[in-house]
Amino acid sequence: MTLLDSAVWGGKFYSEGWQDSATEQPVTEPATGDRLGTVGLASAEDVNRAAARAAEAQRAWAATSPQQRAAVLRRAGELFTEHAAEIEDWLVREAGSVRSKAGFEAGLAIGECFECAGLPTHPQGEVLTSQDARWSLARRRPAGVVSVIAPFNFPLILGLRSVAPALALGNAVLLKPDPRTAVSGGVVIARIFEEAGLPAGVLHLLPGDGEVGRAVVEAPEVRVISFTGSTPVGRAIGEQAGRLLKRAHLELGGNNALVVLPGADVAKAASAGAFGSYLHQGQICMTTGRHIVHESLVEEYTAALAAKAEALPVGDPARQDVALGPIIDRRQLERVHGIVTDSLAAGAKVAAGGEIDGAGYRATVLTGLTTDMPAWREEIFGPVAPVISFATTEEAARIVNDCEYGLSVGILGDVGTAMKLADRIDSGKVHINEQTVSDEPNAPFGGVKASGTGSRFGGATANVEAFTETQWLTVRPDIADYPF
């Protein structure tokens, strides 16, 4: 039996084993519309039962030795390695990933598990000074039950990057993947940890609609919500969490800038820009959504970028060797095209692309933009590269920061100039002589402004902060004397 044999998960959700669901949803291949299987959907009542059981199981899981928890995470990493080809196939067919993106995502999952295997034995607090004759400690304790809500675009890693550290640090998890990618973003994770020996009740897979999303936030046992997705939904979750006095870690949208400085190698810059804008059809929060190019290079850069865009084939990544696969669904495809056509109506010009191609969208370059046009202001979440020029680094900094988002910025060219520019930019991540899409399991990840609540993913420091609570503990040799 393969890891993802549908006989195990078909029509079911995972909560102390695979449970039959009263409601099912087809798993659809976006490139063809073909049915790949059927996933079971949870209800709000299922969530409430799972949350109660997770709270019970969490106490026993937190009490296990750090070595035992680390062993489960290491075994999960080994299983991801063993089943990488099968997992990549699902990422290609269900999420519309091209093969290289699927391999990159599976590799991130492997690295995430091995990185998180070190968390159980990571220092869990600090020794404080005290004015009294006692030991004073600030120690980190598991938060309890963590809800993880993940999107469709990088469904595996964007769920796992919260699930793995939360489990490693002694929490239980309720995982709600996007229903469009419930296998690659949910079933894969549940099956891996089931096979890795995670005790029953510690991880629950609960695919569903908005009602299920509200339930995994509002369940009284849940103390932390980790959400990756759109800014409007993130705002709503943040409001819910605030009202309920729960912590919400929100990784939201982006409209990321790539700055090309004077003197930059145009051929290399255009290659970086194409990768940043067109990887996974631009359906990445870190996608390069704004190309800000020095006026001395803008014509040459635009021509080079357009030539690359025209050469990138669009199609079905499961059956063809293509650079761009399908947009996740028709609604999003039409939204991408609508933003392009609205910008053209406002005066922008197409240098390449600008067309729907089957279930996908051709790699697009837009010029003649002003900063109030939709293609410049909005997060497109499609393979569209708007280009605008600048004259001075001061102007470049102003254009970069004139955006509601602040997730990722790339700066290409002279390092000294780039360093000075980086110090003036409001962004959670800055990459000098790289494009905007980058992620590593040991690196902090997060944005500012409408891109979220900061770096609460990646690396031991961020993960410990995200998924534990601080407890002050004092110890004295004898009972203290008091004046009463």
Active site amino acids:
251, 285
* Burial letters 96-115, b for 16+ CB under 10 A, else e: bbbbebbbbbbbbbbbbbbb
- What's the sign of the alpha-carbon dihedral 94, 234, 158, 316? positive
DSSP H helices, 64-154, are 66-82, 84-95, 99-116
The H or E element containing residue 399 is helix 393-401
Structure tokens, 274: 């194409």
Compute the distance between CA of residue 112 and CA of residue 108 in angstroms, rounded to an integer.
6
Burial status of residue 347 (CB atoms within 10 A of its CB: 0-12, 13-18, 19 or more): exposed
- 3-state SS assignment for residue 190: helix
- Joined tokens for residue 221: 């046992």
Collapse the DSSP code of 125 into the 3-class scheme (helix H, G, I; strand E, B; otherwise coil) and give the result.
Answer: strand
Tokens of 441: 């399991």
